[in-house]
Structure 1
Amino acid sequence: MARFPKPPEGSWTEHYPDLGTDPVSYEDSISPEFYEVERKAVFKRAWLNVGRVEQLPRKGSYFTKELKVANTSIIVVRTTSGEVKAYHNICRHRGNKLVWNDMPLEETSGVCRQFTCKYHAWRYDLDGHLTFVQQEGEFFDLDKSRYGLVPVHCDVWEGFIFVNFAPEPEQSLRDFLGPMITGLEGYPFAEMTSRFYYRSEVKANWKLYMDAFQEFYHAPILHANQSPSTFSKAAAEAGFEAPHYRIDGPHRLVSTSGIRAWEMDPDMRKPMEDICQSGLFGPWDKPDLGPMPEGLNPAKCEPWGLDSFQLFPNFVILIWGQGWYLTYHYWPTSFNTHIFEGTLYFPQPRTPRERIAQELAAVSFKEYGLQDANTLEATQTMVEARAVNEFLLCDQEVLIRHLHKETAAWVDDYRRKTAEVGAP
């Protein structure tokens, strides 16, 4: 879909006529049957981000990722040649999970020269080759070269590690990302190594939480208590509208301006923000990161607040004009539960004050995230009641329309292709 500037008398939704303007159904968020197809149609075919290369700082560094939506656990490792590879986390002998610590369902990380199974001590090198079998002579016609770890398609873009569970991906990672996302190339992601991480188990469908971060129509209302009362009242009365929305293939973007009333008026600032010189938008001292890529701030907002890039299916890169970024992941665990991960990335602090400023931004983000999540379980339970089957969306919720329509398109495409080959 093309990018359009919004005329004064027009609407964003009208620029994308395929999305329509009718009320939408949330059946895709409450149906166990739809979820089972969605797992195969979307999460076993799309490229999924599972981490960053900074998690693998040297040869032999690894981490595991539990992916219930794909019914698997994977190992992501930096090999002796420096390449990043991924494998299913299973020993070829008796099927034991290969890499885990005390609790087999918990994720772990570390550094090693080889992977050794806890059960019978079979060993695999970092390239996945089976190198040692305990009492090898007891086996019948064992050819170790045939029993290496099962690989998972893996590729890296701008330091982000992606995997794909299809037998053969339908697109390369770069083609899947498309020009809107690859337009971010050159942003100093690798310089943002000060990291804050949050994880939460949410009793709601993953798409409902994505919806919460795809529009700012809710901001003056839901987050009213987080902002100074004078600002909140004015924002609630005037409403809020983002200056730019864009859709590119399966991915979406929303941009906002950067006007911060509490920074312009000392009476509207919180004492803690004055002390720490920081707040939700990040530390007030913006770092010099050099020239920014053309893909940022496509609306040319001045001042510019943020760009939220929604990568299909479940990954968000949100870049702040203040010189830092955060990511969201939404990992389904059932039709009405998922795991939410929020990670904030800043340049390494040079002083204790800079560190404290980053920590305040991280805490402020957590509070906003809790406010957004607070509505989700109530939404899920009431939508599941099916007393109402269609829901109204305004022009600012155009990206919500797109996510649900795109998910349905992937499911329809999967059903058509599997029917053609006679698959169940």
Structure 2
Amino acid sequence: MAFFPKPAAGSWTENWPELGTAPVNYNDSIDPEHYLLEQQAIFKKTWLKVGRIEQLPKRGSYFTREMPSAGPGTSVIIVKDVTKDNPDGVIRAFYNLCRHRGNKLVWSDFPGEEVSGVCRQFTCKYHAWRYGLNGDLTFVQQEGEFFDLDKNDYGLVTVRCEMWEGFIFINFDDDAAPLNEYLGDFAKGLEGYPFHEMTEHYGYRSEVNANWKLFIDAFTEFYHAPILHMKQAEKEEAEKLAKFGFEALAYDIKGDHSMVSSWGGMSPPKDINMVKPIEQILHSGLFGPWDRPDIKGILPDELPPAINPGRHKTWGTDSFEFFPNFTLLFWAPGWYLTYNYWPTAVDKHIFEADLYFVPPKNLRERLSQELAAVTFKEYAFQDANTLEATQTQIGTRVVTDFPLCDQEILLRHLHMTAHQYVDRFKSHGSANGKHTAAKDEAHV
């Protein structure tokens, strides 16, 4: 769909009439049966971002990812190999499972924890079966004890793995469309952004007692910002926001994915008194360091076409929601962050946030980045705390349908898209009929 600037009179929602304007049903965030269907219909069928290329700097570099969103116990190894055909390296993914007796292949002290490192081959802790970086079974302890064992038949089970702009994605569905096709026009419009220059990394992870979609809901609207985050602004600025509210610059929807463009993130702020003393000293805050890094590709006339699509002079940030659970957020001062939401139960998920900056050249630049990172953490966990309160109340089912305003258009789109995946899965005779049909909720 095309980008629509907001008319002087009218609404964002009218540009996508298929989303409707009726109250949205939130049973999809509290129904355990629906959650199990989402595991099969969404998280085993779509492309999932699991890391960055910088995590695998050389041959044999690897990390594991626990993927309960795709089913209990699901674990994956991501590894870099170098071959004659791929001298620059190839990234592969495998199920983290030994072919002998099913032991988890790569883990340290605790089987459920993710690990990373460098190795020449993977060796099972249980009986020392060994596998090459390409997944081939290379060694079997006391091989002569087995009956007609052909090692070629017992390599690691592969998981589809593809790259986009240095981001590593996996997909458990061998029949899924290629990654670039799945990510679509938004991804194409972001190509060329200098991700490779922003390698200074800060990360947070937390278990949130709320359905995974509820946290995405929180980051796709600014309706809550003047209220929930009031304490993070100076008194005069907070009062102004509370009185007049906050309105984004643009929204767009393309297939399963969406974006919101907003003002803010100016560096430095027009009025230095709008921010806290420590921000004045370090030239940093929620919007990131004020001093733009000296690299190509971040000035307004250099940005890829998908970023700040309206080319607004007051633009500050764009947030892209790649379904199902990957948020990519750009800030005007020249840095970006990502969110991932990994469901572990109908009312729980793991929230991951990763911030990326150009490496600092001196101590002040480093401190300005650290201030941005801790300030962001405060904002994000304010949202998380609110969502846990939301989860407890919608779980009572006292009310199931909730009205959404014009600024909450991307919430409508998210819940509708998730329902469509589940509905298609059920219509194709899911799991050989093992699942009973979930209730057909009126979700929009």
Q: Above 0.5 in TM-score? A: yes
Determine which of 324, 337, 350 is the counterpart of 1:339: 350
Give the Å deviation of 1:420. Answer: 11
Structure 1: tracts of 5 or more residues without a match = none
Q: What are the residue-to-residue correspondences of 1:16-415 with 2, within 5 Å?
A: 16-71=16-71, 72-81=74-83, 82-169=89-176, 171-258=177-264, 263-290=269-296, 291-415=302-426
3-state DSSP class of the match of 2:253?
A: strand
CA gap of 1:283–1:349, structure 2 versus 1, over 3 A, is same
Partner SS, residue 428 of structure 2: helix
- Report the CA distance between 1:260 and its aligned residue: 5.2
- Give the secondary structure class of the aligned counterpart of 1:279: coil
Shift of the alpha carbon at 1:266?
Answer: 2.9
Q: 1:259 to 1:94 in 2, by over 3 A?
A: closer
Q: Deviations over 1:36-82 (max 9, x none)?
A: 00110000000000001000001100000000111310000001231
Q: How far is the alpha carbon of 1:3 from its aligned partner?
A: 2.4
1:49–1:161 Cα contact (<8 Å) kept = yes
For 1:343, what is the secondary structure of its paired residue?
strand
Question: Structure 1 residues 257-266 or 113-122, which shifts more?
Answer: 257-266
Aligned-residue offset at 1:417: 1.9
Tell me the secondary structure at the aligned position of residue 242 of structure 2: helix
Q: Is the 8 A contact 1:318 1:325 kept in 2?
A: yes
RMSD: 1.4
| 1:264 Cα deviation after fit | 2.1
| SS of residue matched to 2:349 | strand
SS of 1:302 mapped into structure 2:
coil
Q: 8 Å contact 2:166–2:195 — kept in the other structure?
A: yes
Check whether the contact 2:200–2:358 (CA below 8 A) recurs between aligned residues: yes
Name the residue aligned to 1:13.
13
Q: CA deviation at 1:203?
A: 0.6
> Is contact 1:261–1:268 with CA below 8 Å preserved after alignment?
no
Letter in 1 for 2:162: D
Q: How far does the alpha carbon of each residue in 1:227-281 deviate from its partner, in whole angstroms, 9 at most, with x for none? A: 1010000011001110100000100100101375982223332110111111111
TM-superposed CA distance for 1:352, in Å, is 0.7
- SS state of the match for residue 328, structure 2? strand
Determine helix, strand or coil for the equivalent of 1:414: helix
Letter in 2 for 1:166: D
CA distance in 2: counterparts of 1:212 and 1:3, whole angstroms: 22
Quick one: distance in 2 between partners of 1:191 and 1:262?
22
Q: Distance in 1 between matches of 2:292 and 2:314?
A: 13
For 1:224 and 1:269, locate their aligned partners in 2 and report how far apart those are by CA, in whole Å: 12
Letter in 2 for 1:73: S
Asked if 1 retains the 8 angstrom alpha-carbon contact of 2:61 and 2:117, the reply is: yes
CA contact (8 A) 2:267 2:290 kept: no
Contact 1:258 1:302 in 2 (8 A): no
Secondary structure in structure 2 of the residue aligned to 1:263: coil
Q: How far apart in 2 are the matches of 1:135 and 1:346?
A: 51
- Displaced runs of 4 or more, over 6 A: 420-423
Q: Distance in 2 between matches of 1:300 and 1:331?
A: 33
Q: Per the alignment, in what secondary structure is the counterpart of residue 183 of structure 1? A: helix
Asked whether the 8 Å contact 1:262–1:269 carries over to 2, the reply is no
Q: Is the 8 A contact 2:265 2:332 kept in 1?
A: no
> Partner amino acid for 1:47?
W
Report if aligned partners of 2:265, 2:317 keep a CA contact under 8 Å in 1: no
TM-score (norm 1): 0.97
Q: CA 1:304–1:404 in 2, change beyond 3 Å: closer, same or farther?
A: same
The separation in 2 between residues aligned to 1:27 and 1:119, in whole angstroms, is 44
Partner letter of residue 82 of structure 2? T
Structure 1 residue 309, shift from structure 2 partner: 0.3
